[in-house]
Amino acid sequence: MMSMKYRKLGKSGLEVSAIGLGCMGLSFGYGPATEKQEGIKLIRRAYELGVNFFDSAEAYGPFTNEELLGEAVQSFRDNVVLATKFGFKGGNSTAGLDSTPENIRAVAEASLKRLKTDRIDLFYQHRVDPNVPIEDVAGTVADLMKEGKVKHFGLSEAGIQTIRKAHAVLPITALQSEYSLWWREPEPEIFPTLEELGIGFVPFSPLGKGFLTGAINANTQFDKSDFRNVVPRFNGENRKANQTVVDKITEFAKKKNALPAQIALAWVLAQKPWIVPIPGTTKIHRLEENLKAEQITLTNEDLEEIESAFSQIQIQGARYPQHLQARVGR
């Protein structure tokens, strides 16, 4: 049994395994859903290996991912931290945003049932809703906390104004946004804000939606239902250009006797002590590889070497198609 280290998400005192598990890909986003028993096996294996932080959302599926997670962790529910999210109309990520107080409450009740539990450990707003003042969102979650239904409040892909306004009403435990060696946008503004306010950071896609593992190249064909088909960064030309990034990480990983994915995760962990990445996978051997990243220590020299290599690479292509990019960073 490998010993997993724990980290605290900001000043909240919420202690979680240094690497969590993003469960989305088991049900949604990257091609056909994993067969349920396989998904349960993977989640339970993560727990055996020391993971106590599991990330879901009503929108993953919709709904099937929370049901899978609830069933998988039932026998050890009290030893894990379950995170889920509200904020889309009818739980459908393509149907527009809805963070009205009524919807937040309805989602909380429905999520509790699907997760087979009496409290949500970390409840995120999935995307900022420009039609609902963030103060009302925070106030509604505060009420759910008073009722014992929610333990911690989070935001996802929010900008610094929203973070400050929400935090003034109800302390935020964590911000969840995309962050990796090829998407470093949170560094200049978001990180100092989180540090100042004592908020933890939970990066999703720390492996660049799979790209930084080295398993995707110019010839990779994604399943027709795979989200990456519409991501500009993954189109043919950009994929070729971005291969330099993977080559650099691969070269560095060889020196460290590690895999590219492990270096990419170790790099994220090395940035701040309050960062907890949540890589996802559908394969147990990948899960086991990813979790070993926590035992890799990158020295200052290593980090400087990675930094100088990367400062010369221009990543090609946006991380979202235009209509989805409009939803982030408010």
pLDDT digits (tens, 9 = 90+) for 236-262: 889 988 999 899 999 999 999 999 999
What is the token pair recorded at 161?
A: 């104004």
- Read off the pLDDT of residues 175-193 as tens digits, 9 standing for 90 and up: 999 999 999 999 999 999 9
225: confidence class by pLDDT, cuts 50, 70, 90: very high
What is the reported pTM? 0.97
As given in the structure block, the two tokens for residue 241 are 């250009």
Element (H, E) at 173: none
Q: State the chain's mean pLDDT as an integer.
A: 96
Concatenated DSSP letters of 44-65: HHHHHTT--EEE--TTTTTTHH
pLDDT digits (tens, 9 = 90+) for 126-152: 999 999 999 999 999 999 999 999 999
Per the CB < 8 A criterion, the answer to whether 166 and 330 are in contact is no
Chain-centre distance of CA 295, in angstroms? 20
pLDDT in tens, 87-130: 999 999 999 999 999 999 999 999 999 999 999 999 999 999 99
From 208, 296, 259, select the one nearest 19 (Cα to Cα).
296
Tokens representing residue 216 in the block: 């995707």
Q: Residue 64's pLDDT band (boundaries 50, 70, 90)?
A: very high
- pLDDT interval class at 232 (50, 70, 90): very high
**Which one has a higher pLDDT value, 67 or 310?**
67
Is the predicted pLDDT of residue 1 greater than 80, yes or no?
Answer: no
Show which residues are catalytic.
60
Q: Kindly indicate the confidence band of residue 2, based on its pLDDT and cuts at 50, 70 and 90.
A: low
Confidence at residue 310, expressed as pLDDT on a 0 to 100 scale? 86
Q: Which residue has the higher pLDDT, 144 or 322?
A: 144
Return d(Cα 71, Cα 67) in angstroms, integer.
Answer: 6
The rounded Cα 259 to chain-centroid distance in angstroms is 21
Confirm if 137 and 129 have CB atoms less than 8 A apart.
yes
pLDDT for 235 beyond 60: yes
**12-26, 207-221, 280-294 — which is least confidently predicted?**
207-221
pLDDT confidence of residue 132? 98
Task: Report whether pLDDT(76) > 90.
Answer: yes
Ranges 6-10, 45-49, 298-302, 325-329: which has the least confidence: 325-329
Please report the domains of the chain, with CATH numbers, ordered by start residue: 6-211+271-296 (3.20.20.100)
pLDDT grade for 3, boundaries at 50, 70 and 90 = confident
| pLDDT above 70 coverage of the chain, percent | 99
The closest of 34, 116, 113 to 78, measured between CA atoms, is: 116
The pLDDT of 158-167, averaged and rounded, is 98
Q: Where are the alpha helices (DSSP H) in the chain?
A: 36-48, 64-73, 101-114, 134-146, 160-169, 190-197, 236-255, 260-271, 284-291, 300-310, 322-325
Confidence band for 198, pLDDT divided at 50, 70 and 90? very high
Query: What is the structure's pLDDT at 221?
Result: 94
